[in-house]
Amino acid sequence: MKQEGRSVRLVDVARAAGVSPSTASKALNDAGSLRPATRERVRAAAERLGFVSDAGARALSMRRTFIVGLLSTDDVGRFSMPVMLGAENALTVGEISTLVATARHDSVREQHHLRTLVARRVDGIIVTGKTTDARAPIHVPVPVVYALAPSTDPDDISVVPDDAAGVRMVVDHLRALGHRRVAHIGGRPDQNSSRVRLAALREALTAAGMELVGEPLFGEWSEPWGRQAVGLLLRDRETPSFTALVCASDQLARAAVDRLRESGLRVPHDVAVTGYDNWEVMWAASRPPLTTVDMELERLGQRAAERLLGEIQPETGADTGPRGTEFVAPRLVARGSTIADD
C-alpha cells in the first residue's frame, strides 16, 4: 500500500524489505553484488510503497536537484580527501550526486566555484579545508556545512575533529605504561591544531600527575624539523630527561624515531614516541611503527553529510543536531613506538 501524506523515502523501502538503506539503493540502481532474491524483494517493496527512484522525477516533485557541492580549499588533499570520501559515501546512500570543486586557497577561484555550484542549483554545499583553522563563512542561498575547517560564525554548522580528546587518549596511554616525564614537539605555533593539542597536553598531564619536561618546541610540520627538535632536546645530555615524546604529527614522530635511534636510544625501551594523524605513509615507514591518533576523517565527512541532509530537508528523517561546532571523537592506535615487542 502506498504511504499517504508524505513522500516515500529510501529508508522506508529499506525498512519494508528488511535491508539497510545502502543495500536498498544498490538494488534499485542495479549496483553492487546482491542476491537476486534480495534485489527483487527491495524492488517489490519499492513498488508496493510507491517509491519513485528516478532522480529527475523526484527533483520535479520536491523542487530539488539531488546534487550537493563539495568545496575544498586544500591543494594537496591529505586531510580533505578522506573527509570528502566519507561525505560522498553518505550522500550516495541517499541517492545524491556530488560536484567536487577545489579552490586551492584562492579566493577568486572559490567565488567562481560557488557561483557555478549555485547556478547548477545544488541542494547544499559541504566546505572543507587543509587544517582545523577557522575560515570565513560563505554566503550562498543554500544550506552549508563546514567540515574539518570550521566557520568563524558560531551559528554555522561545523564538524571538526576532537583534537583535545585525542591528546587525552595519548596521555592516558602513556600513563598506563608508567611514563611520568614527557617532552613535546609541535608544528607551526600559529595554527589551531598546534594550540589545541598543546593546551590539551598540559591539562591532561597535570590531571594525571605527569610532567611536561622543558618548553614545547615548535617548527614546521616536516621531518627535518622533527629531527632538529630531537637534537635540541638531547643537547648536552648523555641520557634524556624524559621517557616519552609526544609529537603533534606523524611526520614529526617518524623523524623523531630516526633521530633517537641515531643517538643510540631505543624506541620504545628508552623513549616512547607518539604521533598524530594515523597517516599510513608515515606510521608504516617508521621503525618501529608509530602509535598515533586517528582523527576518523571519513567518519567526520559522513557526519557533515548527515548534518547537511538534515538542513536540506529535515522531514526526511536525516540526522540533525544543534547548530554550532560538533566534535567527532578520534581513536588511539597503539603500535610499536610505545609498546615493545619483547
Asked whether 188 and 159 are in contact (CB, 8 A), the reply is: no
Q: Which helix (H) or strand (E) is 36 found in, with range?
A: helix 36-49
Q: What is the β-pairing status of strands 331-333 and 292-294?
A: antiparallel
SS (H, E, C) 161-185: ECHHHHHHHHHHHHHHCCCCEEEEE
Rounded to whole angstroms, the Cα distance separating 31 from 16 reads 20
Please state, in angstroms and as integers, the Cα–Cα distance from residue 92 to each residue in 63, 190, 222, 309, following that order: 19, 37, 36, 12
In whole angstroms, give the CA distance from residue 218 to residue 276: 15
pLDDT tens for the chain, 342 residues: list them.
Answer: 444 445 677 888 889 999 988 788 778 766 667 888 998 998 899 888 877 655 444 444 446 778 899 999 876 667 888 998 899 888 887 678 888 888 877 888 889 999 999 998 999 999 998 899 999 999 999 999 999 999 999 999 999 999 999 999 999 999 999 999 999 999 999 999 999 999 999 999 999 999 999 999 999 999 999 999 999 999 867 778 999 999 999 999 999 999 999 999 999 999 999 999 999 999 999 999 999 999 999 999 999 999 999 888 766 555 667 889 999 999 999 999 999 876
**What's the count of helices (H) and strands (E) in the chain, helices before strands?**
12, 13
